[in-house]
Amino acid sequence: MWRRVRAASGVWSRALRGRPRTPSRNPLRTPLRRLFLLLGVLGPGLIAANAGNDAGGIATYSVVGARYGYALIWLMVVITISLIVVQEMAARMGMVTGKGLAELIREHYGVRWSTFSTVSVLIANLGICISEFVGIGAALSLIGIPVQVSAPIAAILVWLLVVRGSYKTAERIFVGMTLAFFAYPIAAILARPDWGAVGKAAVVPQVHLTSAFLLLLVATAGTTITPFMQLYVQSAVVDRGLGVEDLRAERIEVATGSIFANLIACFIIVATGATLYLHGIRDIGSAADAAKALVPFAGRFAEILFATGLLGASLLAAAILPVTAAYVVSETFGFEKGVARRPREAPVFVGVITALLAIGTLVAIIPGMPVISLLVLVQAVNGVLLPVTLFFVWRLASNRELMGAYANGHTFNILAGATVIATSTLSILLLVVTIGGVFGL
């Protein structure tokens, strides 16, 4: 990964060679330049993993902390390994084949499976997109801005970014949005947790044999590894023009992105566990509720930090979800695709992005919209889609005819297979419990 940083630094050095040395007028120039160079080598892996920490994810982690304290932190350690494995396979396929996942599914498994995946992704991503604009509205409502104002403005800004800007600009802003997640470690520190207990919870599994605990365990796994993450990272790697020569750097980027994203999730659990759980506050319906509830125990600053993280997370996911759906539709039916493509260059790609942003915004600003019921439907769709998506990722990455020398090795294939089976089992359990809840079973 740092090879690109050194190369970029070399360009600057050669450009400046021969110039007289003058004192820098801006003492922040070097740190800022290093920051921009770092943003240049980070990308799809970090963006995809952190987009999973969206409004729904933050709400889930907040509920975990409020109801069970640190009891599920060990699960985040296990999920991190699984996330790295799955994301690495998707990124590697994109670099080796130069094709997105939906396109490979169509070529190797036929139009029916590809169409099924496309329709499922559209439904799921639209539902989650609505929840992201609800999250944006909830975050900004804490400072008095109504959702009817904040959601449309956010949608316009996101559209301009992914359609009118350049790919590099869009990707760097996506990466920059992840900086908002640093609010959660600070909020966790302000909560003054027992770090010894946190460390013990990370290595000693705790399981409560109750339906409520098991449901939350499954939901935590399901919100951490979602289908759109694999679809996005593979298509984004292709869009970025990465090849096998970049494989080592991208593996590092995928691993660090996954670790960072799940560390943030752990800090959310710690922040709510050290405050709400210890004070008996269990009823948290959303991330915004968690932010408000933190005030008496960690102060007003903690609420602001929690809301800042929610805003950044919702904006990032609101941008990534429509782009992912656009990639999938374009790859399935063979249309032109690419972030920052103009409408005349990729009308279907831009049209899908525009439609999801518009519908997501309009539904989010409807007063009294039953968002919870919508999210139940989205969970059900994701419950069906995740096992299918992970199976295709696993089998395609193991295909030596397709991947050649870059196919999964024997040991990695066993690890990948176990990951797919475990996450798929949890996803199916979540689907069963969700449907059972709808019918009162």
Mean pLDDT is lowest, of 63-72, 222-231, 398-407, for 222-231
Distance CA 399, CA 8 (A): 35
pLDDT at 19: 42
Whole-angstrom CA distances from 380 to 112, 284, 376, 388, 421 are 20, 22, 6, 13, 18
Q: What crossing angle do the helices spanning 410-438 and 73-97 adopt, rounded to 10°? A: 120
- Dihedral (CA of 138, 143, 148, 152) sign: negative
pLDDT score of 180 more than 90: no
pLDDT at 15: 41
pLDDT at 122: 82
Q: What average pLDDT score do residues 110-119 get?
A: 83
Q: What is the mean pLDDT of the chain?
A: 78
Phi then psi dihedrals of residue 427, to 5 deg: -65, -40
Q: What average pLDDT score do residues 115-119 get?
A: 82
Q: pTM here?
A: 0.78
- Other beta carbons within 10 angstroms of residue 413's beta carbon come to 15
Token look-up 């050194």 returns 6
pLDDT at 407: 92
Q: Which CATH number fits domain 48-438: 1.10.3210.10, 3.40.50.850, 1.20.1740.10, 3.90.226.10?
A: 1.20.1740.10
Q: Specify whether the CB–CB gap between 350 and 401 falls below 8 A.
A: no
pLDDT at 414: 87
Distance CA 212, CA 319 (A): 32
Query: What 8-state DSSP symbol labels residue 409?
Result: P
What would the two tokens of residue 265 be? 């999730």
Q: Specify whether the CB–CB gap between 271 and 181 falls below 8 A.
A: no
